[in-house]
Chains A and B, each alone.
Chain A
C-alpha cells in the first residue's frame, strides 16, 4: 500500500474519523483529540504500517495530519 494511504488509514482509525474528513491542517490534539497516550498508539501503529522506526525528532515534529502524511511520503 502507498505509505501516505497507509498513514491516512492509521490516522482515521486512531481518531475515529473517516479518511475523507482528514484535512492536512488538522491539529492532532486540538482537532482530532489525540492526547499524549493516544499519540503514542498512533506512532506505534504508524511504525507497524510503514515498517519503520520513527525517531524521537520525527515524532516531536508531527503536529498535524499534514506532518504525518509528509513523513509517510518521505518514507515511501
Chain B
C-alpha cells in the first residue's frame, strides 16, 4: 500500500514507532570487522550496504553511528516511500536530503559532497538505490569517494529470522528479537586523480565486496 498526502505524517509516526520498537528488539549476534567500522565512525566517511539491508542497518546507525556524535546523512528518493523514510530518519536525528544521484541529480550529489567535506558527516549509502536493479552498484558513490577522498566502508547484514518485502529490492525485515550479524569490510579509497577505468574497476570491486560481506554475515549466524 502506498501512503501519500495528508496521511504521510501520521503514517511516518506510526511506522517510526513500529520500526523503533522492532529494531530495539534486534540483538547483535556478532560484528566482524570492528576496526573497519571505526573508520566509518571517523568522518568524513561513507558506510555502504545493499538497499535490501536498509532496515537491518538501522541497528548499526542507532547503536554505533549516531552515538559517535558526528552528523549522519542519507539521500532519500522523491517517491512516497522515500518521503516516509526521510521523515523516519529525520526523527532519529539523521540529516536527510531528497533526490537521486542516478537521475541527473547533480544537486543531490553536490549536497552529499558538501555533507562529507564541509559538514564532515558519515554518509549512509545504498549504492543500488533508489530503484535498483538490486545488488548493482551505481557509480555515484565511487565518484563521491574519488572527489572527496572519503573512504567507503562496505558492510553486509544478515538476520536469523524475518521476511522479505515485495519491493524491488525485496527488503529484509527482521522478526522481533531476531539476531543480526554484521560483517564490515576494508574501506575503499580513491583519489581525485583516479582514471575512469580505475573508478569502474573500483565500482565492480565495491559490489563484489558487498556481496561477499552479505554472505559472510549470513555465515556468522550459523
Stretch at the interface among A4-12, A18-26, A34-42: A34-42
Contact A36 B111 (CB under 8 A): no
Whole-angstrom distance between the alpha carbons of A54 and B110 in the complex?
8
Least CB distance from A23 to B in Å reads 21
Contact B107 A37 (CB under 8 A): no
Least CB distance from B66 to A in Å reads 25
Contact A40 B111 (CB under 8 A): no
Q: How many B residues touch A, CB cutoff 8 Å?
A: 20
The DSSP consensus for interface residues of chain B is: helix
Residue B118 lies at the interface, judged by CB distance under 8 Å to chain A: yes
Contact B104 A36 (CB under 8 A): yes
Contact B114 A36 (CB under 8 A): no
- Range of interface residues on A (Cβ < 8 Å): 10 to 19
Contact B102 A44 (CB under 8 A): no
Q: Contact residues of B with A, CB < 8 Å?
A: 97, 101-111, 113-114, 118, 139-140, 143-144, 147
Q: Contact residues of A with B, CB < 8 Å?
A: 29, 36-37, 39-41, 43-44, 53-54, 56-57, 59-60
Add 6 more A-B contacts to A36-B102, A57-B107 (CB < 8 A): A36-B105, A36-B106, A37-B139, A40-B143, A41-B143, A59-B106
9 contacts across the A-B interface (CB closer than 8 A): A29-B104, A36-B101, A36-B102, A36-B105, A40-B110, A40-B143, A44-B110, A59-B110, A60-B106
